Amino acid sequence: MPTTAPATSLTLDTARCLSTAVQNHGLDPDVLAQDGPAARATVELTQRLEESRGTGWERWRMLAEGAMREDHVKAVKAIAAEYQGKLDNVVVLGIGGSALGNIALQSALNPLTHNLSTDRTHPRLFVLDNADPIPFHQTLAFITSEDPKFDRTLFVVISKSGETAETAAQFLVVRDMLQKARGDGHADRLIAVTDPEKGTMRRLCDAAGYETLPVPEGVGGRFSALSPVGLISCALCGIAIDELLDGAAAMEQACRHEALHANPAAMLATVLVELGQRQGKTVHVMMPYANQLYLMADWWRQLWAESLGKIVPSGGADGTHAGFTPVKALGATDQHSQVQLYREGPNDKAIIFLEVEKLATDVAIPAGLGEEALAYLEGSSLATLLSAEKKATEFALTESRRPNLTIKFPQVTAHTVGQFMMLWQVATAYAGLMLGVDAYDQPAVELGKKATFALMGKPGFEELAARLRS
Ligand code: PA5
């Protein structure tokens, strides 16, 4: 039952999640019927989301349209224009929701060889999203070997709170390097994406005169890829941000539909939550058959895990634990690594295939070798082979009664990627309501941050430090 949303071009095919395809491991088709229980629930949930849309922590729903979009696009394009032709390197400092969108967008929409190209119309992009000194040192050593005074390098520090230890530490190192290399005039080599009004980073930027872009109020890290958090590296590196936001806006619109079968986010959330709750499919594997989309799965893993992995407040004194374990795999590569487990291991997974109807490039496989064993490949192409591999894996999983669904991209473009990100963001909002959890907090992440502060000796965390050391 392919569901095509109006004005969007991604399609969602959930037929292999039904008992008609995977027997007792699938959902009863009545659950998803036009007038069935999920359809009735969708009407109510959609109305609730319509009421909260654009308010509180759901301001991310307004990122792709109206005044917020206009302000962000204008500010981001102004900075991109200011630096146009002047940069060889853009270095993003950020972690979690302040990094994953940048990485995903870059790898989906710029060539794999973007950083290797000698054509520097658009700068290279490095996203340093960890406190690991090795990649940090190696990247900066590479940059300074070419550009010791940072004349053609821009650092973009992204931190909503301005407090996150990994990003703050990187910022301190980079600021020091810039100051040593450029003196007081270093402010034009660092911009910050941070809270427009409060926080440590905001204070530092105001004092040092760094240019800033906002992480808008009511937009949490993992819902911020379509805000300046993700847009700035796209604009600097030649990705069409208008097209990206047009795609997101089209999907956002489609996901306001009260009819389950016309609302791809409601359908996606319903199928995955129902499979998790009724059928015990609590491991959700995203398996793109396109290398371009592989790191999108990292962005999705954070969204799905951090939003839904929670104690359910209404679950009794001890609480009930909600959430699904998101896993990423790559087709066809992981057919030779993971698919054995997916077919014959515990039947606790739902597989989410990402398929691309028309890859941007294909490679013909030449004929003429005359080797009988390889003749079936001759005259075909790599895209044809990859597509056959996806169908074959889908068939094999279905044969083993493993529920699987497919999100199909007609092509990977900024528009379809914008659709995809918004699709999952809205699906996450639905899933949060279905599971009875707050999709927007992350108490367990916060505790880890505080424990790091304590271990690193930050004032105010002495008691926690003592507990940690005992
Ligand atoms: O989704 C989230 O809230 C987190 O992953 C944050 O994005 C991450 O911890 C970084 O936070 P900040 O942007 O405040 O530095």
Give the nearest ligand 1 atom to 96 CA: 5
Q: Whose CA is nearest to atom 8 of ligand 1?
A: 96
Integer angstrom CA distances of residue 124 from 116, 278, 378: 8, 47, 37
**Cβ-contact 157, 193 below 8 angstroms:** yes
What pLDDT is recorded for position 4? 46
Region 356-362: mean pLDDT is: 96
At 293-315, the pLDDT tens digits run 999 999 999 999 999 999 998 87
At 19-73, the pLDDT tens digits run 999 999 999 999 999 999 999 999 999 999 999 999 999 999 999 999 999 999 9
Centre of ligand 1 from the C-alpha of residue 132, in Å: 17
Centre of ligand 1 from the C-alpha of residue 98, in Å: 6
Question: CB of 159 closer than 6 A to ligand 1?
Answer: yes
* pTM greater than the 0.85 cutoff: yes
Ligand 1 mutation pick, 161, 163, 201, 306, max ligand atoms within 8 A of CB: 161
Centre of ligand 1 from the C-alpha of residue 96, in Å: 5
At 162-196, the pLDDT tens digits run 889 999 999 999 999 999 999 988 999 999 999 99
Q: Whose CA is nearest to atom 2 of ligand 1?
A: 221
* DSSP-derived 3-state class of residue 299: helix
Question: CB of 170 closer than 6 A to ligand 1?
Answer: no
Give the nearest ligand 1 atom to 222 CA: 1
Question: CB of 195 closer than 6 A to ligand 1?
Answer: no
Give the nearest ligand 1 atom to 442 CA: 3
At 68-116, the pLDDT tens digits run 999 999 999 999 999 999 999 999 999 999 999 999 999 999 999 999 9
Centre of ligand 1 from the C-alpha of residue 95, in Å: 6
Give the nearest ligand 1 atom to 445 CA: 9
Residues facing 140 on adjacent strands: none
Integer angstrom CA distances of residue 132 from 138, 167, 308: 11, 11, 28
Q: Residue 5's pLDDT band (boundaries 50, 70, 90)?
A: very low
DSSP states along 52-75: HTTSGGGGGGGTTSHHHHHHHHHH
* Percent of the chain that is helix, strand, coil (3-state, to 5): 55, 15, 30
Give the nearest ligand 1 atom to 97 CA: 7
Integer angstrom CA distances of residue 218 from 57, 60, 113, 222, 385: 4, 7, 36, 12, 45
Centre of ligand 1 from the C-alpha of residue 442, in Å: 9
Strand-strand pairing, 2-4 and 11-13 = antiparallel
Task: List residues with catalytic annotation.
Answer: 306, 336, 449
285-307 in b/e form (b: 16+ CB < 10 A) is bbbbbbebbbbbbbbbbbbbbbb
Question: CB of 167 closer than 6 A to ligand 1?
Answer: yes
Q: Residue 1's pLDDT band (boundaries 50, 70, 90)?
A: very low
Question: CB of 350 closer than 6 A to ligand 1?
Answer: no
What pLDDT is recorded for position 447? 84
Centre of ligand 1 from the C-alpha of residue 167, in Å: 10
**Cβ-contact 157, 167 below 8 angstroms:** yes
